[in-house]
Amino acid sequence: MKYLGCAYYPEYWGPERVATDAKLMRAAGINLTRIGEFAWARMEPADGTFTFDWLHAAVDTLGEHGIEVMLCTPTPTPPAWLTFAHPDTLLVNADGRRLDHGSRRHYCYTSETYRRFSKRIVAKLAAEFARHRNVVAWQIDNEPDLIETGICHCENCQQEFRTWLKSRYGSLAELNQRWGTGFWTVDYSDWQQVRLARANHAPSRQLDSRRFANEKLSDFVLFQSELLKQQRADWRVSTNLNGEVFTSLDYFKLFDRLDVACKDLYFDICTMDVNAMIMEQFRSFKPGQKYWVTETGAGMCGCGRPAHPGQFRAWLWSSFAHGGDAHVVFRWRTCLSGQEQELEGMLEHSGVPGHRYKAIQKAFLEMREQSAKLRDLPLPETAVAFVHDYDVAFTYQSTGIGTLVPYEKNFTALHREFYRRNVRTALVPPTADLSPYRLVVLPSLVMINPTLAERLKEFVAGGGVVFAQGQLGLRDANANYMRHRGPDQLQDLFGVLINGGMYLHSCVGVDETSASRTPFTVKLAGKLARGTAAVWLGDLEAQDCRVLLKVQEDTYAGQPAITEKKTDKGLAIYSAAAKLDDRLVGKLVDYALGKAGVAAVKGIPEHVEVIRRGTRTFVINHRAKPVQVKVAKKRLRLPAYGVAVVSGS
């Protein structure tokens, strides 16, 4: 792995401590520190007064110890002098309250004033630090996202939103039509009436509000990237993104214009399936390139049960095996004060290297030595692609189905069956070339991008297998249901018609209210398998397909639930339920993999990862118990959290 690192706050600990820290870092195998994302007030303590001496000194001292630096632009935390003098730089939340100083990410991403001050500090930083050879990379802002604060609703954003809508729809009449304003007659008669949506507003308005905020915040990140690149084209410029892909920014578009996909990934006890999914997703954002983990826990977040000493090592090797090229611990030392006072650093708050330092040091030193021999292995091969469309993700966040159908959970449940079989997957946008894959998964794509529809038809005609699930092609590009039957543009491909569907929960019982929905399941059965469907069931008509499973009970008893349509070479499988029980998903995944000719790795206990990369196979035991496995014709006994790298595949 190229970089083993930590997030470091020299502005907090002071210049007298840097040399001691650098020495301890070096001894722990650290060769990268990430610095400066919250340090604006120490870089520019007053308007136009810049104090970079402390930062130059810190960067130099780290360099003397062989440590490179990922410098950050400090825009998540504007200084108090700035926001007090220019309140228009502050984000206004959905209730109309202007956020105030003392937290982070409280800026407005469309404010011209904020952009002007950001431009000045970023350009200054870039110019000042271009001469340091050990500044090798940049992180823009910190976790740019709308999760912490929500969308900004200030008057500038409202005006910009109207401009954005005008260029998208041309006229108010078209806007009314596209947003479907006829219900509750929320028709607009003057552009001034059009404002960003709040939670109780129509889905189409919410969806466009999210699209707009996504574009504007992404633009705020990319404008900083350009400033940095103007200074030095060889810097690796990126930003650290938060969470899985189900957030408020289109990561495909963002990373397309950044140098490396960076992810803050807090491995936790019992979340390995989700971690593996996230690593595969981040590996997909820059196809063929390695990703960086720009933050990972030194201890437990939220002060949970401490990780087993071997667990950090297992997570580190898992990241390396999936294609990680940097592993940066958050953070170097537990802080004495501040909102995250309880968050455990590598060093104790006393500055003493304790258990966490020792566990990380051991893992880092081993990784440094071992990975040097493994660096040139090809990335894991993927024959399975999950299509991810941000318009769909934003639609789930904007509509009632987002709460009724937990899109992320269903996506994760589907992905888990591939993880369990050690089948690696890629995440692709709806416009992707599908020809490198043998199986394509559509996880509840409520709207179908026309390019995707074309690509899927070509893919199946060429012998590919498609496996689609849940609400498929039922909405238009504005999140409105369509007048015709689904799956939009794909009726022939799947040989089915979806008339609509029903949600599977009860809120009409005598002792129930709509506030307490009780989920229930419906039995499905067929020759292939039997099981249950939950959450949502499609009202499906089989046309030109074979019915694999039928509904056994309730309103839709006897109706097809899971179908397949064979063409000359390819196959299109559709499961008309948003959620199936795990066993049934497993059966369908096995079936689809078999039809696609993709081999699963059999006989491996759950949470033991087997990752093939060229001539080597990585085996990582995430379990608290020893396991025995047979991999690459070898019998292995791995201790709890043990790791092995074996020759052969």
What would the DSSP string read from start to end of 89-108? GB-B-TTSPBP-TTSSS-B-
Helix or strand or coil: residue 609? strand
The residue number with the shortest CB distance to ligand GAL is 143
* CB of 337 vs ligand GAL, minimal distance in Å: 14
Q: Is 11 a catalytic residue?
A: no
155, with CB counted inside 10 A (0-12, 13-18, 19+), is exposed
Selected from 343, 385, 529, 549, the binder of ligand GAL by CB under 6 A is: 343
The pattern of x and - marking residues 96 through 115 that bind ligand GAL according to CB under 6 A reads --------------------
* Bridge partners for 629 per DSSP: 636
Tell me the closest approach of the beta carbon of residue 618 to ligand GAL, in angstroms. Answer: 27
Contact 470, 444 (CB under 8 A): yes
Task: Report the distance separating Cα 166 and Cα 511, nearest Å.
Answer: 49
Contact predicate 53/14, CB 8 Å: no
Q: Name the CA dihedral angle for 357, 359, 365, 366, rounded to a multiple of 10 degrees.
A: -170
How many other C-beta atoms lie within 10 A of the C-beta of residue 483? 6
Beta bridge partners, 139, equal 72, 238
Which residue bears the tokens 């228009």? 88
Q: How many beta carbons lie within 10 A of that of residue 306, not counting itself?
A: 14
Q: Is the CB of 221 or the CB of 460 nearer to ligand GAL?
A: 221
The answer to whether residues 590 and 571 touch, using CB atoms and an 8 Å cutoff, is no
Mask for 239-268, x = binds ligand GAL (CB under 6 A): ---x---------------------x----
Q: How far is the CB of 239 from ligand GAL (least distance, A)?
A: 11
Nearer to ligand GAL, 279 or 562 (CB): 279
Contact flag: residue 73 with ligand GAL (CB under 6 A): no
User: In angstroms, rounded to a whole number, what is the distance separating the alpha carbons of residues 613 and 108?
Assistant: 44
Q: Two tokens at 496?
A: 């089915």
Greatest distance between any 2 Cα atoms in the chain = 76
When the beta carbons of 79 and 297 are compared against ligand GAL, the nearer one is: 297
Q: Are 89 and 78 contacting, i.e. CB atoms less than 8 angstroms apart?
A: yes
Closer residue to ligand GAL in complex, CB, 345/586: 345
Question: Does the active-site annotation cover 16?
Answer: no
**Which CB sits closer to ligand GAL, 47 or 342?**
342
* Residue with Cβ nearer ligand GAL (345 or 487): 345
Which residue shows structure tokens 């794509």?
445
Burial class (CB in 10 A: 0-12, 13-18, 19+), 473: buried
Residue type for position 471: Q
Q: Min. distance of Cβ 7 from ligand GAL in angstroms?
A: 7
d(CA 474, CA 165): 24
Least distance to ligand GAL, CB of residue 274, Å: 16
Q: One of 68, 244, 280, 295 is an active-site residue; which one?
A: 295
Q: Taking the complex as a whole, how short is the minimal distance between the CB of residue 6 and ligand GAL, in angstroms?
A: 12
Give the shortest CB-119-to-ligand GAL separation in angstroms.
Answer: 23
Residues 280-339 that bind ligand GAL (CB under 6 A): 295, 301, 330
**Are 120 and 222 in contact, with CB atoms under 8 Å apart?**
no
> CB-wise, 44 or 295, nearer to ligand GAL?
295
Closest distance of CB 581 from ligand GAL, Å: 33
**At closest approach, how far in Å is the CB of 99 from ligand GAL?**
17
Kindly tell me which of 52 and 266 has the beta carbon lying closer to ligand GAL.
266
**Cα end-to-end span (Å), the chain:** 21
**Smallest separation (angstroms) from ligand GAL to the CB of 641:** 22
Residue reference for tokens 């081999």: 599
The residue count for binding ligand GAL (CB under 6 A) is 9
Q: Give, as ranges, the residues between 487 and 506 that touch ligand GAL (CB under 6 A).
A: none
Catalytic residue among 44, 128, 143, 408: 143
Nearer to ligand GAL among residue 340 and residue 606 (C-beta): 340
**Token pair 């799947």: residue:** 494
Helices (H), ranges, 232-354: 251-256, 272-285, 311-322
Specify the residue, 151 or 265, whose C-beta has the smaller distance to ligand GAL: 265
In the chain, the amino acid numbered 176 is N
Question: Does 340 sit near ligand GAL (CB under 6 A)?
Answer: yes
Give Rg (Cα) of the chain.
26
Site for ligand GAL in 141-160 (CB under 6 A): 142-143
512 is an interface residue for ligand GAL by CB under 6 A: no
Tell me how far CA of residue 395 lies from CA of 197, 211, 246, 342, 482, in angstroms. Answer: 13, 10, 11, 36, 14
Q: Tell me whether residue 38 or residue 467 sits nearer to ligand GAL (CB atom).
A: 38
Cβ neighbors of 250 (< 8 A, separation 6 or more) are: 214, 218, 390
DSSP output for 577-602: EEEE-HHHHHHHHHHHHHHHT-----
State the minimum distance, in angstroms, from the CB of residue 415 to ligand GAL. 22
- At 117, list the tokens: 């001050």
Contacting positions for ligand GAL (CB under 6 A)? 142-143, 242, 264, 295, 301, 330, 340, 343
Active site residues: 143, 295
